[in-house]
Amino acid sequence: MARAIMSDIKRDHIHKLLSKGKRVDGRNWDEFRQITVETKYVESAEGSARVRLGNTDVLVGVKMQTGTPFEDTPDRGVLATNAELIPLASPTFEAGPPDEDSIELARVVDRGIRESEMIDLSALCITPKEEVWMCFVDVYVLDYDGNLFDASFLGAVAALKSAIVPAATFGKGENFPLPTKSTPISCTAVQIENSILLDPTLDEEKVADARLTVTTDENGDLRAMQKGLEGSLKLEQVRKIIETSQRLGKELRKLVG
């Protein structure tokens, strides 16, 4: 995210602890903060989830409506993901059209859902070439204390799994649960002076050199990755993050059923 100003004393504190293998909040390098997932949080949405990841707070909603399919996928529903970094969530977020940070966030979340084939888009076809279900996933960050990628992804997955297709409202028969095929999970880590830390807090993100998000499926196979920030990663570090994501993915998957 946008490079916010950080006091030297805080920066030094993080570095000093890290040199002893410790984190500011006492977690292990591969330990997530406490996570709560609350689904069906917003009744007006087809599906929704509020995710708290430590002090990071994200609300994800799914809205569905009928529409025309894309020409190149005439028999598949449409998935669209958007993320809003609203000024309520942080003094560094500004009102206005999506900036590059929110676009990257939305696209990384979208890629994980799309590439894992979590949603059975072919089951969202009503009449080929004419009418399909369109599924809009909107991510709103409410409180920003780092690792928006995993909080948002967890929220999106939980919201989608809880979503009911509003067929009755559109005169398309009875409502039915959104057909899903898998439960992808993303894990994000940062590299700070060659230490790898999972689920970074905002302060850790501010001093981070590089970031990597890895999205895996039930088999532990890779479905999406995204490296960010101006620093570099060694191949060994990438492997370490992938293996950790495969391992922790199993635990996190339980949170979203």
Instruction: Produce one character per residue of 95-120: b if its CB has 16 or more CB atoms within 10 Å, e if not.
Output: eeeeeebbebbbbbbbbbbbebebbe
Closest to other proteins by CB, 47 vs 249, is: 249
Tell me which DSSP letter residue 178 carries: P
CB of 129 to other proteins, least distance (A): 18
Residue 6: Cβ within 10 Å count: 14
Kindly list the distances between the CA atom of residue 13 and the CA atoms of 33, 198, 216, in Å, as whole numbers in the listed order: 20, 18, 33
CB of 242 to other proteins, least distance (A): 7
CB of 197 to other proteins, least distance (A): 17
Closest to other proteins by CB, 24 vs 103, is: 103
Tokens 């949080």 appear where?
41
Closest to other proteins by CB, 178 vs 225, is: 225
Rounded (10°) CA dihedral 99, 101, 106, 108: 150
Q: How far apart are CA 50 and CA 40, in angstroms?
A: 8
CB of 22 to other proteins, least distance (A): 26
Q: How far apart are CA 192 and CA 18, in angstroms?
A: 8
Give residues in contact with other proteins (CB under 8 A).
Answer: 3, 98, 100, 103-104, 106-107, 111, 114-115, 212, 217, 219-235, 238-239, 242-243, 246
Closest CA to 105 of 131, 78, 139: 139
CB of 10 to other proteins, least distance (A): 17
Closest to other proteins by CB, 49 vs 238, is: 238
How open is the CA angle 203-254-177, to the nearest 5 degrees?
110
Closest to other proteins by CB, 160 vs 242, is: 242
State phi, psi for 222 to the nearest 5 degrees: -80, 135
CB of 19 to other proteins, least distance (A): 22
Closest to other proteins by CB, 225 vs 252, is: 225
